[in-house]
Amino acid sequence: QLLDHIADRFDTGSLAGRRVVITAGPTREPLDPVRYISNHSSGKMGFALAEAAMNAGAEVTLISGPVNLATPAHVKRIDITSALDMLDAAQSTLEHCDIFIACAAVADYRPTSVAEHKIKKGNEEIMELHLVKNPDIVATVASAPQRPFTVGFAAETQDVISYARGKLQRKKLDMIIANDVSQAGIGFNSDENAVTVVTHDTETAIAQTGKRQLANQLIEQIAHQYKTTQ
Amino acid sequence: QLLDHIADRFDTGSLAGRRVVITAGPTREPLDPVRYISNHSSGKMGFALAEAAMNAGAEVTLISGPVNLATPAHVKRIDITSALDMLDAAQSTLEHCDIFIACAAVADYRPTSVAEHKIKKGNEEIMELHLVKNPDIVATVASAPQRPFTVGFAAETQDVISYARGKLQRKKLDMIIANDVSQAGIGFNSDENAVTVVTHDTETAIAQTGKRQLANQLIEQIAHQYKTTQ
């Protein structure tokens, strides 16, 4: 009976038979064998989306940076560390990907060179760190020859919707999910979130709720929008 | 009987009645509200030392950076994020501190300024990050007017003992515990460690063992050396 239930879900869920790739968590950009640049992403939103997509009948691959979260059942997980690793992993999935959801907080820049040994603290009171821009993973995916339906996230602290709409257009995305990380209690590392879903012709606010519930709502919106493009 | 056992340990352990302050884990140095520089320290060694010191009868304060570890029973924990926070916390404990063990992997440098809002990715292919040296917490403690017995750690990837001895002298420490983080399976983020305990006139290697067992051995060496200074 349980198996029937699961089979039923896979056959009839809003993403039945669809292959969904989701990136999650932070990336870490190494300076040397011990130090890195990273960010406060917990990965909770991406993991919740993976579970929700699986529950909607999709075959889910989760590409995750370093997080302390259990892999949702029936989800294929690929662990990576840096943005370059994540890009490689993302590109390796594109041949069999219908929907790509870029939820990871990818470092914009990485150190120009990675020291082989731990950098010794000198006597210098100041230090310059040379950084080079990382590839834009979601923009790369959205520009691929056989592009999947591509969904981005925009974590902003000011002018949230206008920055999000700018990214949607510039990166050629199909949908962008904007959230205001300057608000206490939502976003990075918290268990709740409130977002606005932006497409080329719509804007839909989703009120603050648990990340799991929000993930279910987002997956339904993604599935709906995806179908309109088929 | 259990209470008797505990009371006994507190009265007769090698650190009975001593107040021990231990720093543990990494620090995080913020670039803006979402990004930071950090390192791979798990905090396991510092937490194991806190438990071992408590078991040896000490009153233990653990000053910890962001880690995913449970506080050992009967240990007072102070959570901090940045090196400056850790220095403040350390200095606040000095009036009542007999032994200070600096096990944290404190960031040597922090960004010169912290952006109030998330830094927007520009079009620049490269970026310079301006860093300024953090205060040296263990050296500051060792130079305080009423200095505790001060123990440092040296995580190195090359010339381990000679770098460690240099630090011992330059920072005016009583003891330094040197480990070679370039060796696989020990040090940062692993469950085992192998170290060399360096004082002004001794060098004692401790073979690879679990961090808990190593912590017990180190606390015994610290207690022994501490007594010779009283």
Closest partner CB to B36 (pick from A39, A117, A126): A39
The structure tokens 């917990």 sit at: A42
Radius of gyration, alpha carbons of chain A = 18
Q: Characterize B160-197 residue by residue with b for buried, 16 or more Cβ atoms within 10 angstroms of its Cβ, and e for exposed.
A: bbebbbebbeebebbbbbbbbbbeeebbbebeebbbbb
Angle of helix B211-228 relative to helix B44-55, nearest 10 degrees? 60
Interchain proximity A127–B131, CB inside 8 Å: yes
Which of A33, A163, A188 lies nearest to residue B157, judging by beta carbons? Answer: A33
pTM: 0.84
Q: Which tokens go with A189?
A: 């590392």
Check: CB of residue B33 under 8 Å from CB of residue B118. yes
Burial of A88 (0-12, 13-18, 19+ CB in 10 A): middle
pLDDT tens for the 230 residues of chain A, in order: 555 555 555 567 999 999 999 999 999 999 988 899 999 889 999 999 999 999 999 999 999 999 999 999 999 999 999 999 999 999 999 999 999 999 999 999 999 988 776 666 667 889 889 999 999 999 999 999 989 999 999 988 788 899 999 999 999 999 999 988 777 666 556 677 789 999 999 999 998 888 899 999 999 999 999 999 88
The number of beta carbons lying within 10 Å of the beta carbon of residue A132 is 14
Instruction: Please name the member of A39, A125, A132 whose beta carbon is closest to the beta carbon of B132.
Output: A125
Report the gap between the CA of A129 and the closest CA in chain B (Å): 5
B157–A132: do the CB atoms touch at under 8 Å? no
Closest CA to A24 of A92, A75, A73, A58: A75
ipTM of the complex: 0.82
Read off the pLDDT of each residue in B120-137 and give the average, rounded to a whole number: 86
With a cut of 90, say whether residue B61 has pLDDT above it: yes
Q: Cβ of B14: how many Cβ atoms within 10 Å?
A: 18
Contact residues, chain B to chain A, C-beta under 8 Å: 31, 33-41, 68, 105, 107-109, 112, 117-118, 120-121, 124-133, 155-158, 163, 181-182, 188
Contact A112 B125 (CB under 8 A): no
Say how far apart CA B100 and CA B176 lie, in whole Å: 12
Q: Distance between CA A177 and CA A154 in Å, rounded?
A: 6
Judged by CB atoms closer than 8 Å, whether chains meet at B181 and A121 is answered as: no
Residue B68 falls in the annotated catalytic set: no
How far apart are the CA of B92 and the nearest CA of chain A, in angstroms? 25
What is the spatial distance between Cα B173 and Cα A130, in angstroms, rounded to a whole number? 34
